[in-house]
Amino acid sequence: MREHEDAFQQKGAKLVAIGLGDVGYARQFREDSKIDFPLLIDDKREAYKAMGLGSANLLHLFRKDNAAARKRAKAAGHRQVKLGKDPFQLGGSFVFAPGNKDLFVHVSETFGDNADPKQLLKAVQGSSPGASLPSVSA
């Protein structure tokens, strides 16, 4: 998402990441990933539960879609440095707008199943004119 942060800001949106772990892990993640947007810690998984985000298991490591995602990540220069608090916790990507509106929801089905930033930007662009601009969580 860091590569697309400027595009979101130009549309008036704010990026926010939510992760498990402690302050030390979040600090290391921020340094490794070079993100500038807020990184919130959800050590009790309240946001994960509220959004219905599930967990993977060891069998997910052998899924074809997961293997393809690992290959893409490696080719892009991404690497996993350290396992977090729960390496099986799956994530999601969301675009929220004022008035309790969900403009975009993507719940990950396996590791590396991430929403395309272009889809997130399209959801931001599709928010109603004149309304306060949405935030994006990933």
How much is the pTM? 0.74
Residue whose tokens read 């030390």: 24
Domain ranges of the chain: 2-137
pLDDT tens figures, 10-27? 888 888 888 888 888 888
At residue 16, the 3 state secondary structure works out as: strand
CATH fold of the domain at 2-137: Glutaredoxin (3.40.30)
CA distance 39 to 101: 22
pLDDT (mean) for 62-69: 84
DSSP structure class, residue 53: -
pLDDT (mean) for 29-38: 85
The tokens of 7 are what?
A: 């595009």
CA distance 43 to 17: 13
